[in-house]
Amino acid sequence: MKNIVIYAPFRAVGMSLMLIKDLCWVASGIAAENESDDQHQGGVTIINKDGRSVDCFNGSEISSNGTIDFNVQPDLVFIAAFWGKADDALHHHPELLPWLRGLHDAGCPLVAISNATYFLAEAGLLENKVATLYAPYERDFRQRYSNVLLRQKRAITNAEGLYCANAIPSGCDLCISMLEQIYGPDIARKVAARFLTGFNRSYAQWNVELDGLKYHKDQQVLTAQQWLERHYSEEVNFAEVAADLGMSSRNFSRRFNQAIGEAPNQYLQRVRMEAAKELLRTTELKIIEIANQVGTTNLSSFNKLFKKIVNMSPKQYRAQHE
């Protein structure tokens, strides 16, 4: 079983803390039901600075299970939102920064909810990487961390295992996405069906999935990636894309492959299939209509490409996410 840790900062927002705990607790429970050996169950742990009860900003208290010195290696870490000034939260938690750096180095996904993005930035983990956070903090955050690529209009961002959600509702959506990563789509779907019915998602999940392919130093390739993500539904002429960037087709293809490990056409196919997955999950469009919307007009070609990239047919994928 998986070990999920939720860190409660100074003056924690209780709703942020408990919504994430409830979603993760239900997922852990469903997973435990499928385990033949309950001796290896994991769980959901709330920790804070001193291990005593968490004092939320509204005066309520939430039990803590310990501090960052607990002996269990987490598989996933959430940082809940705080109330008040960023300076107060940051000054209260100097011990948190090296802990987060160590977890990131070990490959543990870190998820910041609302304004908890401050902690990832203060730890130096978001330099030249995309992030988002709760809108009222935008100006202060930009002044402090000018080298962070803040994308305030994005509800969710992913920067090589560093995830941010700009509000508590988007944090719930991101939580479901993380649960899918560690428990699989079936458990994530069951949790979402029980808790998130009626939520209006304000982001495209496939944008989140593609963020991790943008951490290279070739600005022209990044420009091409962003252009393809805006125009994937159209017929794309890569010779024209290369010319617009001042490159020959051969040089463009070489640099693109060198930057992200894929040819431009492969990346376009990936973008189209990620967009198709989103439509299969969130709409009742016919598969041929989805194929047309993502720029693949031949249904047979769409089905073959989808199965090649996703390892299942569009019908199977939709059925799995109903």
Q: What is the mean pLDDT of each run of 10 residues along the chain (322 residues)?
A: 91 92 90 61 83 88 88 89 95 94 94 96 93 94 94 83 89 85 81 66 56 76 88 94 93 93 93 91 90 92 94 92 72
Give domain 3-203's CATH architecture: 3-Layer(aba) Sandwich (3.40)
Question: 168-204, pLDDT tens digit by residue?
Answer: 888 888 888 888 888 887 788 788 777 766 554 444 5
Question: 246-263, pLDDT tens digit by residue?
Answer: 999 999 999 999 988 899
Over the Cα atoms of the chain, what is R_g? 21
The token pair that represents 102 in the structure block: 């160590």
Does this chain's domain 3-203 share its CATH topology with 217-322?
Answer: no
What is the rounded CA–CA span in Å between residue 215 and residue 222? Answer: 9
pTM above 0.75, yes or no: no
DSSP E strand boundaries for 29-109? 43-47, 54-55, 61-62, 76-79
Residue with tokens 């990487």: 129
Class of domain 217-322 (CATH, top level): mainly alpha
Beta-bridged to residue 156, according to DSSP, are 165
Query: How do the domains of the chain map onto residue ranges?
Result: 3-203, 217-322
Confidence at residue 38, expressed as pLDDT on a 0 to 100 scale:
47
Strands 61-62 and 54-55: antiparallel
Residue with tokens 């996904």: 109
Confidence at residue 222, expressed as pLDDT on a 0 to 100 scale:
85
